[in-house]
C-alpha cells in the first residue's frame, strides 16, 4: 500500500464537510476520484427520497476475471460537530484539533477502499467486478441504505467498513430495532383553580413509563425511552405529550414482545386516567444473524487469514447500513477498521490500522472466486 497517498487522501476527505443529508460536495469529490480510477458511476435517487442534496454514490469497476462481483461499502456522512475539521497527526495517529469529530467514521473506510482498489490495479492483480456503495445519511437513520437502488448492483456479498476495534473483527450479529412514537392526549385545565377537571398527559406518561421494563432486558434485548416533549405553563394541566421510544433485540420475537409490553403500559395508563393516545410502531431495521458457514464469512475469514490475522466474530448492540443490506437480501458483514472514540471530539485512528484496513480490502477482492 502507498501509505503517504492513503493518509493524504484521508486528510483531504475529512476536510470536506459532509453532515447527514449534506453530502453533496463530498459525493462530487468521490465521483471524480472513482471515474479517474475507471469506475462506472451511478448516483441514485436516495437523496430525493430522504431530503438530502445527493444520492448514494454507486460504482462498478469491470473485472479481469469472470468471478462473482463483490460490494464494498462505507457511508459518506459524519455526525456533528463535523464541519471545518482540522486533522492533526501525532505519533502515528490522526486526530482532529479537538473542536470537531475527526470523520474517520466513516471516511477511513472510504480511504481504505480507494487505496485497496488502486493497489489491485497498479499491481495488475486479477479480480472480478468490484462494486462500491458510498451511502448518505447512515448516521441520521440509514436512509441511504434504505433508499438505495439495489437493482443497479450485481453483488450478493457485501463488506461494510464501519466499526471500531482491531482489524480482523467482524460483526455477524446485530439487533433489530423497533421504534414506538406515541402522543398521549389528556385534558387541559387551570392548575390552580380547577385541576380536578384536567387530565395530565405528563402524569399519564409517568405512570406508563414507570411500569415499563427498560434498559437491559436480557443479554439479547434492550429498551429505552429517548425523548419526551410537551407541556407549557405551570398553571395549565398538560393536555398533550409526545414520547419516542425504542426496543432492540437479536431475536425478532423478543423485540416484538418488548414493543408490545411498552404499548400495553401506555394503554393501561391511559385507561386508568381517562386519557387517549395515538401510537405508531414500526421496524426501523432488521436483525443480523449470519451463520459461520455463510459464504460472506468464509470469504472474509480467508482474507483475514491471508494477512496473518485471526478472524474475531462478534455481536453488537448497534445498527448500521449492514442491517438494511441484509434485509434487502444481501449477505453483508461489518468489518472493523481501527476507529476509536467515534462520535466524539477525541476520535482518532492510527495510520497502521488504516494500512491494515486497506490490506484487508485488497485481500477480500483477491479471495473472491
Distance between CA 246 and CA 259 in Å, rounded? 8
Q: How confident is the model at residue 318 (pLDDT cuts 50, 70, 90)?
A: very high
| Domains held by the chain: number | 2
Q: How confident is the model at residue 255 (pLDDT cuts 50, 70, 90)?
A: very high
Q: Which domain holds residue 136?
A: 3-174+287-367
**Residue 126 per-residue DSSP state:** -
245 shares a domain with 113? no
* Prior bond of 81 cis (ω within 30°): yes
Distance between CA 334 and CA 84 in Å, rounded? 28
Please work out, in degrees rounded to the nearest 5, the angle formed at the alpha carbon of residue 24 by the alpha carbons of 21 and 28.
Answer: 150
93 shares a domain with 186? no
Give the CATH number, domain containing residue 195: 3.30.70.360
Across the range 262-287, mean pLDDT stands at: 98
Which of 9, 77, 106, 139 is an active site residue? Answer: 77
Q: Which three cell numbers stand for residue 253?
A: 420475537
Q: Which residue matches cell numbers 450479529?
A: 173
Distance between CA 250 and CA 269 in Å, rounded? 29
pTM: 0.94
281 shares a domain with 253? yes
Q: How confident is the model at residue 271 (pLDDT cuts 50, 70, 90)?
A: very high
pLDDT per residue as tens digits for the range 218-241: 999 999 999 999 999 999 999 999
pLDDT score recorded for residue 272: 98
DSSP states of 242-276 as a string? EEEEEEEESSHHHHHHHHHHHHHHHHHHHHHHT-E
Q: How confident is the model at residue 369 (pLDDT cuts 50, 70, 90)?
A: confident
Instruction: State whether residue 50 is helix, strand or coil.
Output: helix
Please work out, in degrees rounded to the nearest 5, the angle formed at the alpha carbon of residue 30 by the alpha carbons of 93 and 101.
Answer: 35
Best CA proximity match to 14, nearest among 153, 110, 119: 110
CA 322 to chain centre: 7
Q: Which three cell numbers stand for residue 7?
A: 493518509
Give the CATH number, domain containing residue 81: 3.40.630.10
141 shares a domain with 13? yes
Best CA proximity match to 367, nearest among 297, 290, 289, 293: 297
277 shares a domain with 134? no
Instruction: State whether residue 295 is helix, strand or coil.
Output: helix
194 shares a domain with 232? yes
Best CA proximity match to 244, nearest among 184, 202, 182, 185: 182
Which of 138, 287, 347, 367 is an active site residue? Answer: 138
Q: Is 77 an annotated catalytic residue?
A: yes
With a cut of 90, say whether residue 130 has pLDDT above it: yes
Instruction: State whether residue 65 is helix, strand or coil.
Output: coil
352 shares a domain with 275? no
Q: Is 123 left (phi over 0), alpha (psi -120 to 50) or beta?
A: alpha
pLDDT per residue as tens digits for the range 3-45: 999 999 999 999 999 999 999 999 999 999 999 999 999 999 9
Domain boundary among 236, 252, 285: 285
321 shares a domain with 269? no
Q: Is 138 an annotated catalytic residue?
A: yes
pLDDT per residue as tens digits for the range 358-367: 999 999 999 9
CB 55 within 8 A of CB 136: yes
Q: Which three cell numbers stand for residue 365?
A: 477482492
349 shares a domain with 332? yes
Domain boundary among 221, 252, 285: 285
pLDDT per residue as tens digits for the range 194-218: 999 999 999 999 999 999 999 999 9
Domain boundary among 243, 265, 285: 285
With a cut of 90, say whether residue 151 has pLDDT above it: yes
Distance between CA 145 and CA 75 in Å, rounded? 9
Distance between CA 21 and CA 13 in Å, rounded? 17
193 shares a domain with 55? no
113 shares a domain with 15? yes
> What is the rounded average pLDDT for all residues in the chain?
97
274 shares a domain with 159? no
**Residue 79 per-residue DSSP state:** P
Best CA proximity match to 87, nearest among 76, 99, 102, 77: 102
Amino acid at each position: 500500500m502507498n501509505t503517504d497517498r492513503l493518509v493524504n487522501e484521508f486528510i483531504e476527505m475529512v476536510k470536506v464537510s459532509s453532515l447527514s443529508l449534506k453530502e453533496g460536495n463530498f459525493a462530487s469529490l468521490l465521483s471524480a476520484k472513482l471515474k479517474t480510477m475507471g469506475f462506472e458511476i451511478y448516483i441514485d435517487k436516495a437523496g430525493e427520497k430522504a431530503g438530502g442534496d445527493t444520492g448514494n454514490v454507486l460504482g462498478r469497476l469491470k473485472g479481469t476475471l469472470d468471478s462473482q462481483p463483490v460490494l464494498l461499502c462505507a457511508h459518506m456522512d459524519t455526525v456533528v460537530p463535523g464541519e471545518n475539521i482540522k486533522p492533526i497527526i501525532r505519533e502515528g495517529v490522526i486526530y482532529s484539533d479537538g473542536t470537531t469529530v475527526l470523520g474517520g467514521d466513516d471516511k477511513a473506510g472510504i480511504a481504505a477502499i480507494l487505496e485497496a482498489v488502486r493497489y489491485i490495479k497498479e499491481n495488475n492483480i486479477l479480480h472480478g467486478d468490484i462494486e462500491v456503495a458510498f451511502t448518505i445519511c447512515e448516521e441520521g437513520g440509514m436512509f441511504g441504505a434504505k433508499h438505495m437502488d439495489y437493482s443497479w448492483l450485481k453483488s450478493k456479498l457485501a463488506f461494510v467498513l464501519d466499526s471500531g476495534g482491531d482489524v480482523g473483527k467482524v460483526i455477524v450479529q446485530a439487533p433489530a430495532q423497533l421504534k414506538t412514537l406515541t402522543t398521549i392526549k389528556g385534558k387541559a385545565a387551570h392548575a390552580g383553580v380547577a385541576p380536578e377537571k384536567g387530565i395530565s398527559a405528563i402524569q399519564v406518561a409517568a405512570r406508563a413509563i414507570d411500569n415499563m421494563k427498560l434498559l437491559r432486558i436480557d443479554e439479547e434485548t434492550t429498551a429505552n425511552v429517548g425523548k419526551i416533549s410537551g407541556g407549557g405553563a405551570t398553571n395549565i394541566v398538560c393536555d398533550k405529550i409526545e414520547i419516542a421510544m425504542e426496543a432492540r433485540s437479536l431475536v425478532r420475537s423478543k423485540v416484538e414482545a418488548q414493543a408490545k409490553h411498552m404499548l400495553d403500559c401506555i394503554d393501561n395508563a391511559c385507561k386508568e386516567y381517562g386519557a387517549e393516545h395515538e401510537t405508531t410502531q414500526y421496524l426501523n431495521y432488521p436483525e443480523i444473524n449470519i451463520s459461520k458457514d455463510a459464504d460472506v464469512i468464509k470469504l472474509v475469514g480467508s482474507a483475514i487469514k491471508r494477512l496473518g490475522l485471526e478472524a474475531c466474530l462478534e455481536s453488537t448492540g448497534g445498527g448500521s447500513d449492514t442491517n438494511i443490506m441484509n434485509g434487502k437480501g444481501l449477505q453483508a458483514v461489518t468489518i472493523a477498521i481501527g476507529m476509536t472514540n467515534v462520535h466524539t471530539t477525541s476520535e482518532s485512528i492510527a495510520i497502521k490500522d488504516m494500512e491494515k484496513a486497506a490490506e484487508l480490502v485488497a485481500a477480500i477482492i483477491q479471495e473472491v472466486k
